């Protein structure tokens, strides 16, 4: 007999994809706690979703704050069922052109934040089970020119997630799942802000994903957990192929960069045409 959904947490939920995932969970009947480092944005997002959605200012780099969020949803909902690690930071350009603070920020938010959230969720789900969904990126599966540190942080996130899932199974814990969702570029504020960065070599598949496409993938994963889901599927196969033959993948990088920059220019023109005059 299935039980009614209880509590869920979404990090990085102040805007963009995180807010839409929180909306999905609320529609599914979860009492959702939206967290974000921006207290105003996340409070507004929770108010927009309404229902049983609440908000909390959380810096995912701080384990104590992450643990406090877990405890808050358990107190409010009685049980933690779903935790979505969505918080992420992207700074584009070669690693040697980025400041030490920028590099640290990406590694700590994207990798350490995922680790903190996953561990907190496991501790909150022990005894009754649950599902952890880590929003990673295709950058976590292969080399991405112009995003070296970001890709490194996402490689760390997926490596940690899959290794922790293996540890859960080795420990005989079968009722806690970890799913990694790895989308291509998404039309969200985080990526839109990088479109006019000349140092960026973002290599998209020809169009940016819409947030609702990724939300749909998260919805499927919630119904049927999978260790790794790539969006679109063919881009995941392409990434795996590049990893299987790294020399070939690196030789193809200039083509991907040129394609990505053409895409950026097209998207910039489209975005500028929508600006009020």
Please confirm, yes or no, whether 150 is among the known catalytic residues: yes
Q: Among 114, 88, 104, 92, which Cα is nearest to 180's? A: 114
Displacement of CA 169 from its chain's centroid (Å)? 23
- Report DSSP letters for 179-236, one per residue: EEEEES-B-SHHHHTTTT-TT-----SSSPBPHHHHHHHHHHHHHS--SEEEESHHHH
The answer to whether 76 and 31 have CB atoms below 8 angstroms apart is yes
Calculate the alpha carbon distances from 17 to 11, 206, 252 in Å: 10, 20, 30
Structure token pair of residue 179 = 């799913």
From 30, 150, 160, 204, active-site residue: 150
Structure token pair of residue 235 = 């881009």
Structure token pair of residue 225 = 């957990």
Active site residues: 150
């Amino acid at each position: 007999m299935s039980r009614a959904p209880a509590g869920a947490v979404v990090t990085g939920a102040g805007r963009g994809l995180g807010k839409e995932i929180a909306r999905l969970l609320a529609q599914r009947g979860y009492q959702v706690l939206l967290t974000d480092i921006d207290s105003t944005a996340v409070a507004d997002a929770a108010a927009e979703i309404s229902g049983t959605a609440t908000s909390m200012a959380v810096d995912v780099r701080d384990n104590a704050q992450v643990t406090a969020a877990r405890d808050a949803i358990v107190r409010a909902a009685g049980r933690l069922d779903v935790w979505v690690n969505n918080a992420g930071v992207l700074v584009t350009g070669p690693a040697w052109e980025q400041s030490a603070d920028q590099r640290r920020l990406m590694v700590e938010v994207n990798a350490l934040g995922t680790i903190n959230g996953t561990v907190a969720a496991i501790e909150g789900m022990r005894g009754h089970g649950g599902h952890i969904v880590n929003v990673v990126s295709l950058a976590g599966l292969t080399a991405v020119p112009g995003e070296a540190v970001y890709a490194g942080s996402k490689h760390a996130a997926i490596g940690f997630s899959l290794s922790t899932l293996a540890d859960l199974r080795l420990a005989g814990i079968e009722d806690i799942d970890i799913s990694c969702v790895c989308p291509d570029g998404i039309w969200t504020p985080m990526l839109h802000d990088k479109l006019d960065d000349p140092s960026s070599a973002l290599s998209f598949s020809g169009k940016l994903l819409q947030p609702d496409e990724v939300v749909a993938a998260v919805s499927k994963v919630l119904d049927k957990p999978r260790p790794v889901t790539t969006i679109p599927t063919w881009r995941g196969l392409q990434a795996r192929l590049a990893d299987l033959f790294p020399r070939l993948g690196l030789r193809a990088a200039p083509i991907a960069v040129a394609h990505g920059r053409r895409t950026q220019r097209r998207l910039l023109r489209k975005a500028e045409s929508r600006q009020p005059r």
